[in-house]
Amino acid sequence: MKKFLFLFLLLPTCGFAGYLGIDYTEKNGKVVLTKIDKKSPAEFYGLKVGDIILSGLKPDAFIASVKSAKPGSILSFRVKTKTGEETAHIPVSAGPGAPFAKDIMQAD
C-alpha cells in the first residue's frame, strides 16, 4: 500500500505538456498550421492545414501557452480558415493517443 500511495503522490507533480496535435510555421508573426495529427483534438475540431491562429500572441508564446495548458482544460482562440474566422474552443490532451473531451468542442 505504501508504494501505491507514493506513486499516487508523485503523479500530480509529473508535468504533462498540453497537446492539440498541430505542427506550424510562422508567417508574418502568425501561427500557420502545416500538419494536423490524426485523431487529435485539432483534427476532431476540424482545423486544417493552412488555417491561421489569430491568438494575438507571437507564435512562440502561443505554442508555450498550449504546452503549459493542463490536459483537460480548454484553449479558446480565433482561427482564420478558408471560409472565414471563428473562435475555437478545443480541449487540451496529454499527448498523442490520450483521451480528450470531444463532446465539449464547439465554435462560435
Q: What is the per-residue pLDDT across 6-31, written as a single tens digit (0 to 9) for each?
A: 333 333 434 567 899 999 999 988 99
Residue 4 has pLDDT above 60, yes or no: no
What are the domain boundaries of the chain?
A: 22-101
| Tally of CB atoms within 10 A around 30 | 17
d(CA 61, CA 63): 6
Query: Could you tell me the CATH superfamily of domain 22-101?
Result: PDZ domain (2.30.42.10)
DSSP SS3 for 34: strand
With bands split at pLDDT 50, 70 and 90, how would you rate the model's confidence at 43? very high
